[in-house]
Amino acid sequence: MTDPNDPDLPTFADVEDAAERLRGRAVMTPLLESPLLNERIGGRVLVKAETLQRTGSFKFRGAYNRISRLSPAERKRGVVAYSSGNHAQGVAAAARLVGALAVIVMPADAPRIKIDGTRALGAEVVLYDRGREVREAVGERIAKERGLTMVPPYDDPRVIAGQGTAGLELAAQAEAADAELDAVLSPCGGGGLIAGCALALSQRSPDTAVYAVEPEDFDDTTRSLAAGERREVRPGAYSFCDALLSPTPGKLTFAINRRLLAGGLVVSDDEVARAMRAAFLHLKLVLEPGGATALAALLAGGYDGRGKTVAVIASGGNVDPQTFAAALERAAGHDPSS
């Protein structure tokens, strides 16, 4: 459990409250199962398809839970956020629903589909150079200059609680499917999704082990869990999992994750590409690289699913067509179902 004496940390009750607020706004995404994936793993695999959420990722959940609670004056002034794309679209969609202006700070090299999607939702996009500028500093400057409310991508109690509603749904759907979950694997960047889901599962499925899954070289949460304190990404790190390139775990998210997670798993870009192909072939899902890391860990054996029931969260599907096609081609020679 999280520390009840720390007022900044969300609780299970906050996740339940977020679920009520999101009722009728967020999509209750399906929990999918494929006999061929089950056979391939030697166990039972359940996939929480957050790719089918509003804006194509889980991020709408936390964004709406935060933005819908703004005061009338805050709504009138508007919000600002920084994001490589999924949080950007979640914030833009949530702000649009409540009638607030949204300004989004995005890296100039973000996938075009994410930049275009954010603008299509009515947000003002401010591009920055991630090699020379710090997105937090750009966002804070805009917030100060224009009087906007900052909506962080993960290190915010309301955002974390909102993301946790995915875990709340997952637990209920697994129970309805007569599935006793041995483990849940979730993609992890700053840690908001997995922290919220861990809060939910700690109460709804307490015997389930929860694992963070990260790309190679962006395994800051995995290394932080091992060290017992937050660690940063190594200089020069690269991955095509653009949604998971946070430089260090969040302060709030790590405070939750260090208590509730069973550990961290790491996958290569090649393993992610194979998972994208498997999801497309067996589940008819389009996953972006970052959204496929949890499935990648299971398929590559990072977590041994033989004889077990494992749920994986497919966290997002906002991928440029060219990147998706290249990933499927890259994996074609390695997929046993090809």
Determine whether 150 is exposed, middle or buried from the number of CB atoms within 10 Å of its CB (0-12, 13-18, 19+): middle
Given a cut of 90, whether residue 56 has pLDDT beyond it is yes
Structure confidence by residue, pLDDT tens digits, 317-328:
999 999 999 999
* Among 86, 103, 93, residue whose Cα is nearest residue 65: 93
What local confidence, expressed as pLDDT, does residue 7 receive? Answer: 62
**Domains 12-57+157-334 and 60-150 fall in the same CATH topology:** yes
Structure confidence by residue, pLDDT tens digits, 197-228:
999 999 999 999 999 999 999 999 999 999 99
pTM metric for this prediction:
0.95
Q: Which residues are catalytic?
A: 59, 315
Question: Structure tokens of 289?
Answer: 């690289």
Q: Are 55 and 157 in contact (CB under 8 A)?
A: no
Q: How far apart are CA 187 and CA 293, in angstroms?
A: 6
Q: How far apart are CA 232 and CA 181, in angstroms?
A: 31
CA distances from 87 to 64, 153, 168, 185, 253 (A): 11, 6, 20, 20, 16
Structure confidence by residue, pLDDT tens digits, 59-92:
999 999 999 999 999 999 999 999 988 999 999 9
What local confidence, expressed as pLDDT, does residue 235 receive? Answer: 86
Q: Do β-strands 79-82 and 102-107 pair in parallel, antiparallel, or remain unpaired?
A: parallel
* Among 150, 189, 185, 190, residue whose Cα is nearest residue 166: 185
Q: How far apart are CA 169 and CA 31, in angstroms?
A: 9
Given a cut of 50, whether residue 338 has pLDDT beyond it is no
What local confidence, expressed as pLDDT, does residue 193 receive? Answer: 98
* Among 185, 215, 207, residue whose Cα is nearest residue 197: 185
Structure confidence by residue, pLDDT tens digits, 300-314:
999 999 999 999 999
What local confidence, expressed as pLDDT, does residue 131 receive? Answer: 82
Helix (H, G, I), strand (E, B) or coil at 104: strand
Phi, psi of 14 (to 5 degrees): -70, -35
Among left, alpha and beta (phi > 0; psi -120 to 50; other), residue 6 is beta
Show contacts of 74-78: CB within 8 Å, 24+ apart. 74/100, 74/149, 75/99, 75/100, 76/100, 77/101, 77/146, 77/147, 77/148, 77/149, 78/102, 78/103, 78/146, 78/148, 78/149
* Segment among 96-105, 129-138, 220-229, 269-278 with least mean pLDDT: 129-138
DSSP-assigned states of every residue in 227-254: HTS--PPPTT---S-GGG--SS--HHHH
Percent of the chain with pLDDT over 70: 96
Structure confidence by residue, pLDDT tens digits, 246-258:
999 999 999 999 9
Structure confidence by residue, pLDDT tens digits, 144-198:
999 999 999 999 999 999 999 999 999 999 999 999 999 999 999 999 999 999 9
Determine whether 105 is exposed, middle or buried from the number of CB atoms within 10 Å of its CB (0-12, 13-18, 19+): buried
Which architecture, in CATH terms, is 12-57+157-334?
Answer: 3-Layer(aba) Sandwich (3.40)
Given a cut of 80, whether residue 337 has pLDDT beyond it is no
Q: How far apart are CA 114 and CA 292, in angstroms?
A: 17
316: which DSSP letter? B
Q: How far apart are CA 324 and CA 326, in angstroms?
A: 5
Q: Are 111 and 57 in contact (CB under 8 A)?
A: no
Domain ranges of the chain: 12-57+157-334, 60-150
* Residue 4 confidence class, pLDDT cut points 50, 70, 90: very low
What local confidence, expressed as pLDDT, does residue 8 receive? Answer: 84
What is the CATH number that goes with domain 60-150? 3.40.50.1100
